[in-house]
């Protein structure tokens, strides 16, 4: 082959020395934007708080205290605040992954709330029925039940989409409402209502509850152990994020999911079954969602199923988490931490400085706007063109020009040699 | 060469008469690339001015600037001697500039009429769209320029040749004096190109000025008065067409000598690698496309498939590749009946496929080049442990090898395919499909829209594959390509193989066979 | 830093009270709002430190209660039946913090009611208020003074939870006592916030013949009042005097959550806090009957007064479960 | 059998259909807004938030002006302002339109709840008195026709407005120059741009229209039906409208048919006392029905080709 006999080109060496630098730079660049967006959002939020008659600095101190246990001046126990935050992060992260998987295949799963409810129902049933099993068996079974419940619900969406083309936005919204009514049926004078209560089920037994990070007996950081509800559920969620990353980046299935998300036509060309991939993706998405439901029952502070789960917004907040995290595992983890901390912080902010916790929602929205609109990049883009002077080629441009010149001359040499 | 046409026109501008267009010191940079670097271009009134250059030379960018779609970083534009501030296509339209874009600007779900009048729609009773007025005007226009078309046809249903016609009518409808045609012949058959040239000559006679972008040097010589060559964003020079030749233009474009002809030894056909019996295939919409086709393709030969676009070639290839289920008939690769197997298994049986739609099917533009080099092979043992876990190390090594072997010009294997020029994108596909040493290679329009340097390269590779024993089915709208590469030529007409011819068949006979043995091709919408 | 966040700690004799709403939030026009009014009154009259946290999800209950308890608040008020087990849990972990639970007794993990030495349950005999508006309704029906004289009336509940059912049970009892032939339609909207389902339920009850409808659905139930007004029937408000909401409101069955909240705070302030259950009923004016936009005829008023006395004296007991 | 006859009894009642049409027409407004926005190429999932904002400000305005028309205008402006944000972020900044729409929905909840508390000192805004409510109009003579009169001619004024807007939108979208251009912009903005059409202006217009319509729906909900503002009172209707828009294949009448399924669902849910089926199963019916119809009859709905893709001239 002519090309293979050509001398090794310098740019391949350049490429060999730079990938780490390049990779670091890329990670930095990938993080810079969301981080900048968050900072910008907080600046805008500060203005809003001031307009609302609050003290931005005090509000943010309280927010940081509630979210991360730092800058606490109201007698809060940092460890407890962190525990609360972890408790909120866990379902957000899990559900965020559920939304993310679907997004990767080009599917907008607004039905995570419904899938999560089904997961919680299944998990509760297993937790109650098999209460006598030891935890090491019962907890995995309960999680599995959650997975099955969620996957079943999302699977309907996948199958309908694959075989009839029914749009997933419609089917997921419809199935949410079916799930809400199912939940009501079960819990309001229905088969799962606890005998002496209404609108809630019996709690799953001790064996079905996830171990907490801090022992329940004794005093820790000045507070009773039982006040700390953060459970090892956070590790399950983090592990799920790891699985997600591995699935997407390192497996053929993830590759196919991404291919289908980018172009169904191309996927078909490559022999990928689009139908099958859509169904599998929805099953995985539903499994994550169902696992969220399982974690809510086995972890957290309430171990029973409650009808108000239909007003819970986890499944919707997860959409924001996934979008903010740009559907990549690390991004979803970071944005779940941010949203979990904002939620926990909002509660403290209201009690500490009397700023409505609903400010937090506005803040979340501003973060999303700022990220989506990429205000920062627009600012940057606008700067160089202020002077009419055309921009000097930056490093990359210069490198590319050099490369092109080099390749050109190599090719010319070949041509000459043959002529 | 039609010298008599050139004789009709003045060889130089008449004395003081201002240029139709002057572009001065135009600069436009994209991130990482300077697409236009201090470009000066002057177009005389009433001439056909060809603009040529390799892929990515900056031709489209320059014309998009002229048409107001892009804002230059620097430079100025004069139209008919007057400074023109063009801040959007509307300004260009007002100044009598019309443009037929490289990628059609047609709305598939609209009718032909709606597409043509869009932006200058006749209305009645206030704002109501006046369909009968549209029909009248389009018929008048069609008659005037001999571009017949049915205004009520749905544009997406038309073959590309007719879509091209719609594009030109759009420009004429707006009364443009200066027409920019960006690769208008890229998708046309020789007959359609011929027809188009007749129209262009008519337009010039009627006083219009035309800027014409193409990769086909023959067309440059046939139709233009002047040629401007761009290379990597810079003007290399402008020459009078009658003072130059193909070799010179090619050298200006590429910066070196280019082999314009493929050297190849006679084929040594082996056993049948692909057999097709009584194959009938419908389009995705369920319309008959391939009717009862039988053929045998031998190892070590190139079978060219010629035909006017829309005569079933695409569906034939899709069926062979397992992307479209045939209605009846059977397909064998070697001894394996793959009729029902689908794309994945057909691939495993040894078939490779360079698809005609490279951006829509052959690549995932957002994936890296490395990821694209395993597209369709993502579950192969070489790239995935047990078909499940990707072996990234091997994949990157593989990608680097292909990049080197196939001279893909890219900063790295992690660059997204989107960032490559069209020619280099095509090279990635060619590399991937050839590297598996397939038994059967379906090459569909393998050099469409690719510059001559890359065409030369791809042609060489196809011949090498043949010599290595692959059976190659080459589908192309380029008769030159078909004739110079093929060992046998099958002509498709209305879903059937009209005839199989030797490679030295006269062009006239091919043309005749492609149009049903005589009469002009017609399409129901072209009436 | 903010002034309150730095000084909140420990000035010796201001007591700190934290209030945790349920997911209805402070604007619910129902018991969250009323409890907050009680809290704010205590703040201005008793000079306490009063802080509020709104729960947006059920999973916020425990963290919110814990937040106040862990910071040494003297009293943590939990508003609403749905927080029973959350209070049961947190009160056990913080035996030195006092809790007041509105509408329920604390519950253990299994949902069984438990007693805690640091929890006071503020319970209301809603059925007694429901009974009085039931008496009014029944008498009007019996005397043919309702818009349609149909002997059919309705009640629209928010969710099927005890505080709601108590009201409805009392209403059923009162109506049946005066007009045994009258039928009481019962529906639940599953909503405390969106008024439309309540309005729609009312519509249906009206088309079934109801000419007096009792709302027991908080903010959602306001839809009952306006829909009733539009359709020309009588309606009855709940929790507070709602006669200003619509012309159709002929009376309201009230429950003095603000008073109960205030009293609980006061008991902590003056050291008279007692664990266990505090019952608010007709006798202690914790629930009651308030007139609306219809002049109550003397005979009916007499009957209402007499039933009130019978209930107060214990001569009659009003049932608290809804008859199917 | 008893259930069937109960169902029949419900289905022949004028009350039932009156209610179904009212709720259908309520949903049709944001659904129509969605159709316009997405036809122009801007994905819009923000109807929920724009509607909630409209509802809130209609009540604020009705309480201060005691005039429903002023309130309607204020509500539409409020919805339009939210839409303007969405348009600005989506069009000017070429943002991911799902993120932007989602942010609008979150912001609307936060904003209205916060302001509700602020303005009412934590008691919730007052009930709107009759002077501030949108009137029900009985069309003279026609309203006396048995059954049909009640269903079609004894409705809130916004029901008539909603139906008229549907008809007008359908005409504009498919018969006029403006409609042709709007659809062109949503299918292939480059083609429209190169034909001299101002892509941005049309997109801004369509998105803002969706805000005006959603704001109007919010006003209808708050001062036509409920006469009150409660936090989060739209309770997912914007999402139902979104589903209806897709279900109806991005056409005004298609969306309206879908809205009517949900309107009937609302009416059914209200009939629980009459039909002897467990309430929650009855309430599932419209959603299950929609699923079945979608899967069986409607099938694939293809959005406008450029829906959700920000436009950059020349691919810049
Ligand atoms: N077309 C496809 N699209 C998506 N996933 C697929 C596809 N084909 C196979 N898979 C998944 O990959 C797994 C491994 O592939 P498999 O072992 O089936 O490959 P193969 O041996 O080449 O094919 P076959 O067994 O059908 O001959 C399958 O079990 C299935 O889960
Ligand atoms: N939207 C864009 N963003 C970034 N780079 C671009 C863009 N459009 C063009 N370029 C780059 O600008 C250069 C010139 O592109 P242009 O399309 O003008 O080439 P061309 O001469 O028309 O090529 P072809 O013959 O393939 O059509 C190329 O390197 C191309 O990659
Ligand atoms: Mg080009
Ligand atoms: Mg196998």
pLDDT of residue A127: 96
pLDDT of residue B23: 95
The CATH homologous superfamily to which domain B270-350+440-445+470-521 belongs is: P-loop containing nucleotide triphosphate hydrolases (3.40.50.300)
A30 CB near a chain B CB, below 8 Å?
Answer: no
Residues of chain A neighbouring B344 (CB-CB closer than 8 A): 271-273
- Dihedral sign, CA of A354, A360, A361, A366? positive
Decide: B344 in ligand 1 pocket, CB within 6 A: yes
State how far the Cα of D268 lies from the Cα of D275, in Å rounded to an integer. 9
| Residue A244 C-alpha, separation from nearest chain B C-alpha, in angstroms | 13
Helices (H), A52-134: 56-68, 78-104, 112-129
Roughly how many angstroms between the first and final C-alpha of chain A, as a whole number? 16
State how far the Cα of B120 lies from the Cα of B141, in Å rounded to an integer. 15
Ligand 3 centroid distance, CA of D130 (Å):
66
Ligand 4 centroid distance, CA of B97 (Å):
59
> Which of the four pLDDT bands, split at 50, 70 and 90, describes residue D314?
low
Residue C199 main-chain phi, psi, to 5 deg:
-60, -40
Helix D237-247 crosses helix D47-65 at what angle (to 10 degrees)? Answer: 130
Record: contact D270-C203, CB cut-off 8 A: yes
Which of B338, B378, B379, B389 to mutate to test ligand 1, by most ligand atoms within 8 A of the CB atom? B379
Higher pLDDT, B246 or B372: B372
Q: Quick one: average pLDDT of A143-151?
A: 98
> Which of the four pLDDT bands, split at 50, 70 and 90, describes residue D1?
low
Q: Are B154 and B276 in contact (CB under 8 A)?
A: no
**Distance from the Cα of residue C35 to its chain's centroid:** 10
> What is the signed CA dihedral for A43, A49, A50, A55, rounded to 10 degrees?
-100
Q: Quick one: average pLDDT of A106-119?
A: 97
A142 closest CA partner among A42, A209, A197: A209
pLDDT of residue B264 exceeding 90: no
Record: contact C204-D274, CB cut-off 8 A: yes
A360 closest CA partner among A88, A103, A114: A88
Which of A276, A281, A283 to mutate to test ligand 1, by most ligand atoms within 8 A of the CB atom? A276
Chain segment A164-210, per-residue pLDDT in tens: 999 999 999 999 999 999 999 999 989 999 988 888 999 999 999 99
Higher pLDDT, D122 or A28: D122
Count chain A–chain D contacts defined by CB atoms under 8 A: 142
Ligand 1 centroid distance, CA of B276 (Å):
26
Instruction: Find, in chain A, the residue whose alpha carbon is nearest to that of D107.
Output: A362
pLDDT of residue A21: 77
Q: Quick one: average pLDDT of C142-148?
A: 93
> Which of the four pLDDT bands, split at 50, 70 and 90, describes residue C13?
low
State how far the Cα of C129 lies from the Cα of C239, in Å rounded to an integer. 9
Chain segment C213-259, per-residue pLDDT in tens: 999 998 899 999 999 998 999 999 999 999 988 899 999 999 999 99
A175 closest CA partner among D18, B481, D295, C179: D295
Record: contact C195-D226, CB cut-off 8 A: yes
Q: Quick one: average pLDDT of C165-183?
A: 96
D175 CB near a chain B CB, below 8 Å?
Answer: yes
Please report the domains of chain A, with CATH numbers, ordered by start residue. Answer: 54-208+231-373 (1.10.3470)
State how far the Cα of B424 lies from the Cα of B409, in Å rounded to an integer. 6
Interface test mutation site (partner A, options D98, D237, D243, max chain A beta carbons within 10 A): D243
Record: contact A351-C107, CB cut-off 8 A: no
Domain ranges of chain D: 2-135+142-300
Burial code of B438-448, b = ≥16 C-beta within 10 A, e = fewer? bbbbbbbbbbb
Record: contact B118-D184, CB cut-off 8 A: yes
State how far the Cα of C289 lies from the Cα of C200, in Å rounded to an integer. 26
φ/ψ bin of D311: left (φ > 0), alpha (ψ from -120 to 50), beta (otherwise): beta
**Residue in B347, B367, B453 closest to A271 by CB:** B347
Rg (CA), chain B: 24
Burial code of A342-358, b = ≥16 C-beta within 10 A, e = fewer? bbbbbbbbbbbbbbbbb
- Side by side, which strands form the sheet with C287-291? C183-188, C152-157, C212-216, C234-239, C249-255, C287-291
Record: contact B367-A259, CB cut-off 8 A: yes
State how far the Cα of D56 lies from the Cα of A409, in Å rounded to an integer. 69
Helices (H), B106-240: 112-117, 131-145, 160-173, 190-205, 217-223
Chains touching chain A, criterion 3+ CB pairs below 8 Å:
B, C, D
State how far the Cα of C61 lies from the Cα of A309, in Å rounded to an integer. 13
A19 CB near a chain B CB, below 8 Å?
Answer: yes
Residues in chain C: 324
Residues of chain D neighbouring C191 (CB-CB closer than 8 A): 235
pLDDT of residue B17: 64
Helices (H), chain D: 2-11, 14-39, 47-65, 68-87, 97-120, 148-153, 157-175, 177-187, 189-194, 199-219, 237-247, 252-270, 279-293
pLDDT of residue B447 exceeding 80: yes
C191 CB near a chain D CB, below 8 Å?
Answer: yes
Counting atoms of ligand 1 from 1, which one is nearest the CA of A252? 12
- B438: DSSP letter: -
Residues of chain A neighbouring B258 (CB-CB closer than 8 A): 415
SS3 B162: helix
Decide: A276 in ligand 1 pocket, CB within 6 A: yes
| Residue D222 C-alpha, separation from nearest chain C C-alpha, in angstroms | 9
> Which of the four pLDDT bands, split at 50, 70 and 90, describes residue D58?
very high
Chain segment B157-168, per-residue pLDDT in tens: 887 778 888 999
Mean pLDDT score across all residues of chain B: 88
Chain segment B166-185, per-residue pLDDT in tens: 999 999 999 899 999 998 88
pLDDT of residue C7: 37
pLDDT of residue B95 exceeding 80: yes
Residues of chain D neighbouring C29 (CB-CB closer than 8 A): 123-124, 230
D154 CB near a chain C CB, below 8 Å?
Answer: no
pTM listed for this prediction: 0.89
Record: contact D113-A365, CB cut-off 8 A: no
Residues of chain B neighbouring A403 (CB-CB closer than 8 A): 409, 411
Instruction: Find, in chain D, the residue whose alpha carbon is nearest to that of A49.
Output: D114
**Residue in A390, A408, A419 closest to B74 by CB:** A390
Record: contact A344-C63, CB cut-off 8 A: yes
**Residue in A391, A393, A411 closest to B256 by CB:** A411
| B352-437 has CATH 3.40.50.300 classification | yes
pLDDT of residue A33 exceeding 80: no
The least confident of B31-35, C195-199, C316-320, D249-253 is B31-35
| Residue A96 C-alpha, separation from nearest chain B C-alpha, in angstroms | 23
State how far the Cα of B385 lies from the Cα of A252, in Å rounded to an integer. 9
For residue B378, which ligand has an atom nearest its CA? 1
Ligand 1 centroid distance, CA of A272 (Å):
9
Record: contact C201-D228, CB cut-off 8 A: no
pLDDT of residue A240: 98
Instruction: Find, in chain C, the residue whose alpha carbon is nearest to that of A306.
Output: C58
> Which of the four pLDDT bands, split at 50, 70 and 90, describes residue A377?
low
Residues in chain A: 419
Spell out which residues line ligand 2, taking CB within 6 angstroms. Answer: B 30, 33, 35, 53, 55-61, 102, 421-422; D 315-316
DSSP string, D137-205: EEPTTGGGSTTHHHHHHEEEHHHHHHHHHHHHHHHHHHHBHHHHHHHHHHH-HHHHHHTT--HHHHHHH
Domain ranges of chain B: 1-96+177-258, 105-173, 270-350+440-445+470-521, 352-437
pLDDT of residue A268 exceeding 80: yes
> D2-135+142-300 belongs to which CATH class?
mainly alpha
Q: At the topology level of CATH, where does B1-96+177-258 sit?
A: Rossmann fold (3.40.50)
Instruction: Find, in chain B, the residue whose alpha carbon is nearest to that of D195.
Output: B119
Chain segment B26-85, per-residue pLDDT in tens: 999 987 789 999 999 999 999 999 999 887 789 999 999 999 999 999 999 999 989 999
State how far the Cα of D258 lies from the Cα of D65, in Å rounded to an integer. 35
Count the neighbouring beta carbons within 10 Å of the beta carbon of residue B8: 10
pLDDT of residue D83: 98
């Amino acid at each position: 082959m002519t090309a293979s006999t050509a001398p090794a080109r310098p740019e391949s060496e350049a490429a060999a020395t730079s990938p780490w630098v390049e990779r670091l730079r890329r990670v930095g660049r990938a993080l810079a934007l969301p981080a900048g967006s968050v900072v910008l959002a907080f600046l805008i939020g500060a203005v809003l708080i001031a307009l609302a008659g609050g003290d931005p600095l005090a509000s943010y101190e309280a927010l940081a205290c509630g979210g991360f246990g730092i800058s606490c001046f109201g007698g809060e126990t940092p460890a407890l605040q962190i525990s609360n935050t972890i408790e909120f992060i866990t379902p957000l992260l899990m559900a965020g992954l559920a939304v993310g998987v679907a997004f990767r295949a080009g599917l907008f799963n607004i039905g995570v709330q419904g899938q999560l409810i089904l997961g919680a129902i299944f998990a509760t049933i297993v937790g109650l029925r098999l209460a006598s099993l030891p935890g090491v068996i019962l907890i995995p079974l309960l999680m599995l039940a959650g997975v099955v419940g969620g996957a079943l619900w999302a699977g309907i969406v996948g199958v309908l989409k694959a075989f009839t083309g029914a749009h997933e936005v419609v089917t997921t919204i419809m199935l949410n409402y079916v799930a809400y009514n199912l939940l009501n049926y079960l819990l309001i004078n229905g088969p799962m209502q606890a005998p002496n209560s209404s609108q809630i089920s019996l709690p799953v037994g001790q064996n079905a509850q996830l171990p907490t990070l801090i022992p329940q007996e004794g005093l820790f950081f000045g507070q009773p152990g039982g006040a700390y509800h953060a459970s090892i559920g956070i590790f399950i969620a983090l592990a799920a994020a790891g699985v997600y990353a591995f699935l997407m980046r390192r497996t053929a299935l993830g590759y196919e999911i991404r291919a289908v998300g980018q172009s169904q036509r191309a996927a078909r060309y490559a022999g990928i079954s689009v139908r099958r991939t859509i169904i599998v993706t929805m099953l995985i998405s539903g499994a994550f969602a169902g696992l969220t439901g399982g974690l809510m029952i086995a972890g957290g502070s309430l171990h029973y199923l409650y009808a108000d789960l239909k007003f819970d917004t986890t499944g919707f907040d997860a959409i924001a988490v996934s979008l903010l995290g740009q559907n990549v595992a690390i991004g979803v983890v970071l944005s779940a931490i941010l949203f979990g901390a904002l939620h926990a912080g909002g509660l403290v902010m209201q009690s500490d400085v009397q700023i409505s916790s609903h400010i937090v929602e506005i803040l979340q929205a501003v973060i999303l706007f700022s990220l989506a609109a990429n205000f920062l990049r627009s600012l940057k883009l606008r700067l160089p063109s202020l002077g009419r002077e055309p921009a000097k080629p930056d490093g990359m441009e210069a490198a590319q020009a050099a490369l092109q010149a080099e390749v050109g001359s190599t090719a010319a040499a070949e041509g000459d040699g043959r002529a | 060469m039609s010298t008599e046409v050139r004789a009709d026109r003045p060889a130089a501008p008449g004395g003081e008469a201002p240029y139709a267009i002057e572009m001065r010191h135009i600069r436009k940079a994209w991130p990482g690339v300077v697409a236009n670097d201090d470009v000066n271009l002057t177009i005389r009134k009433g001439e056909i001015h060809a603009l040529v250059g390799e892929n990515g030379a900056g031709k489209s960018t320059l014309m998009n600037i002229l048409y107001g779609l892009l804002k230059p970083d620097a430079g100025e534009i004069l139209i008919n001697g007057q400074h023109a501030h063009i801040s959007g296509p509307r300004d260009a339209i007002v100044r009598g500039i019309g443009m037929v874009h490289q990628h059609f600007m047609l709305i598939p779900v609209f009718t032909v009429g709606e597409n043509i009048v869009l932006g200058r729609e006749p209305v009645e009773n206030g704002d109501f769209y006046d369909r009968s007025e549209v029909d009248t005007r389009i018929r008048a226009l069609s008659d005037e320029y001999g571009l017949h078309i049915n205004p009520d046809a749905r544009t997406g249903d038309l073959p590309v040749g007719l879509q091209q016609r719609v594009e030109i009518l759009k420009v004429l409808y707006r009364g443009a004096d200066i027409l920019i045609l960006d690769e208008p012949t890229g998708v046309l058959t020789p007959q359609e190109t011929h027809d188009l040239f007749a129209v262009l000559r008519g337009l010039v006679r009627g006083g219009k000025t035309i800027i014409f972008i193409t990769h086909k040097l023959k067309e440059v010589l046939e139709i233009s008065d002047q040629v401007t060559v761009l290379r990597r964003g810079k003007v290399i020079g402008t020459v009078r067409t009658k003072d130059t030749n193909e070799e010179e233009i090619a050298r200006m474009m590429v910066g070196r000598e280019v082999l314009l002809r493929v050297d190849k030894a006679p084929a040594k056909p082996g056993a049948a690698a692909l057999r097709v019996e009584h194959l009938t295939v419908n389009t995705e919409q369920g319309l008959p496309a391939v009717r009862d086709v039988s053929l045998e393709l031998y190892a070590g030969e190139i079978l060219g498939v010629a035909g006017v676009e829309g005569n079933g070639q695409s569906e034939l290839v899709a069926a062979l590749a397992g992307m479209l289920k045939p209605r009846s008939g059977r397909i064998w690769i070697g001894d394996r009946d793959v009729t029902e197997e689908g794309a994945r298994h057909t691939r495993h049986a040894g078939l490779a496929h360079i698809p005609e739609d490279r951006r829509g099917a052959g690549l995932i533009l957002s994936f890296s080049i490395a990821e694209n080099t395993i597209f369709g092979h993502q579950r192969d043992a070489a790239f995935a442990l047990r078909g499940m876990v990707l072996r990234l190390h091997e994949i990157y090594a593989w990608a680097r090898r292909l990049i080197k072997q196939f001279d893909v010009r890219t900063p790295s294997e992690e660059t997204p395919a989107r960032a490559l020029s069209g020619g280099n994108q095509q090279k990635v596909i060619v590399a991937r499909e050839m590297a598996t040493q397939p038994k059967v290679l379906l090459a569909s329009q393998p050099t469409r829209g690719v510059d001559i340097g890359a065409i030369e390269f791809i042609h060489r590779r196809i011949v090498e594959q043949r010599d290595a024993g692959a059976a190659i089915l080459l589908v192309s709208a380029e008769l030159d390509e078909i004739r110079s590469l093929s060992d046998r030529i099958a002509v498709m007409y209305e879903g059937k193989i009209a005839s199989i011819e030797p490679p030295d068949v006269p062009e006239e006979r091919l043309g005749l066979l492609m149009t049903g043995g005589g009469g002009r091709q017609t399409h129901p919408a072209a009436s | 830093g903010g002034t309150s966040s730095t000084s909140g700690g420990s000035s010796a004799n201001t007591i700190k009270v934290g209030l945790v709403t349920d997911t209805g939030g402070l604007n619910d026009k129902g018991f969250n709002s009323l409890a907050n009014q009680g809290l704010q009154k205590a703040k201005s009259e008793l000079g306490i430190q009063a802080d509020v946290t709104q729960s947006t999800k059920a999973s916020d209950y425990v963290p919110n209660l814990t937040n106040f308890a862990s910071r040494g608040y003297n009293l943590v008020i939990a508003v609403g039946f749905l927080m029973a087990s959350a209070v049961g849990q947190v009160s056990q972990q913080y035996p030195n913090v006092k809790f007041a639970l509105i509408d329920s007794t604390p519950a253990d993990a299994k949902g069984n009611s438990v007693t805690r030495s640091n929890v006071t349950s503020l319970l209301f005999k809603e059925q007694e208020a429901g009974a009085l508006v039931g008496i009014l309704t029944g008498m009007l029906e019996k005397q043919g003074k309702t818009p349609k004289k149909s002997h059919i009336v309705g009640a629209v509940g928010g969710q099927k939870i005890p505080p709601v059912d108590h009201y409805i049970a009392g209403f059923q009892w009162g109506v049946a006592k005066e007009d045994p032939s009258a039928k009481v339609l019962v529906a639940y909207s599953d909503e405390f916030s969106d008024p439309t389902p309540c309005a729609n339920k009312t519509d249906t009850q009206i088309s079934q013949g109801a000419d007096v409808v009792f709302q027991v659905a908080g903010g959602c139930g306001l839809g009952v009042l306006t829909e009733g007004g539009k359709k020309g029937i009588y309606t009855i408000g709940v929790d507070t005097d709602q006669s200003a909401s619509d012309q159709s409101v002929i009376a309201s069955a009230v429950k003095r959550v603000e008073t109960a909240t205030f009293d609980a705070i006061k008991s902590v302030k003056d050291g008279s806090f007692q664990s266990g259950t505090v019952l608010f009923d007709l006798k202690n004016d914790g629930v009651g009957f308030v007139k609306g936009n219809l002049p109550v005829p003397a005979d009916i008023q007499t009957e209402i007064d007499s039933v009130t006395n019978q209930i107060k004296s214990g001569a009659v007991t009003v049932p608290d479960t809804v008859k199917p | 059998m008893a259930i069937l006859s109960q169902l029949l009894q419900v289905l022949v009642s004028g009350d039932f259909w009156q209610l179904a049409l009212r709720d259908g027409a309520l949903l049709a407004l944001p659904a129509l807004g969605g159709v316009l926005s997405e036809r122009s190429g801007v994905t819009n999932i923000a109807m929920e938030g724009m509607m909630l904002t409209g509802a809130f400000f209609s009540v604020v305005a009705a309480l201060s002006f005691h005039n429903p028309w002023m309130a309607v205008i204020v509500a539409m402006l409020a919805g339009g302002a939210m839409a303007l944000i969405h348009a600005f972020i989506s069009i000017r900044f070429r943002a991911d339109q799902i993120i932007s729409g989602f942010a609008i929905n979150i912001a609307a909840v936060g904003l209205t709840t916060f302001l509700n508390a602020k303005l009412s000192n934590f008691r919730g805004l007052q009930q709107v008195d009759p002077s501030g409510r949108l009137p029900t109009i009985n069309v003279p003579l026609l309203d006396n026709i048995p059954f049909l009169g009640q269903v079609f001619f004894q409705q809130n004024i916004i029901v008539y407005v909603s139906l008229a807007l549907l008809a007008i939108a359908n005409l504009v979208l498919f018969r006029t120059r403006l409609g042709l251009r709007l659809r062109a912009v949503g299918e292939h903005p480059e083609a429209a741009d190169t034909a001299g059409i101002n892509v941005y202006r049309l997109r801004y217009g369509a998105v803002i229209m969706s805000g005006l319509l959603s704001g109007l729906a919010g006003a209808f909900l708050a001062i036509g039906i409920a006469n009150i503002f409660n936090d989060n009172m739209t309770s997912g209707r914007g999402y139902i409208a979104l589903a209806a828009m897709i279900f109806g294949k991005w056409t005004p009448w298609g969306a309206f048919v879908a809205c009517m399924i949900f309107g009937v669902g609302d009416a059914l849910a209200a009939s629980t006392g009459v039909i002897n089926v467990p309430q929650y199963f009855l309430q599932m019916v419209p959603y299950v029905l929609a699923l079945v119809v979608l899967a069986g009859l409607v099938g694939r709905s293809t959005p406008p080709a450029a829906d959700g893709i920000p436009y950059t001239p020349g691919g810049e």
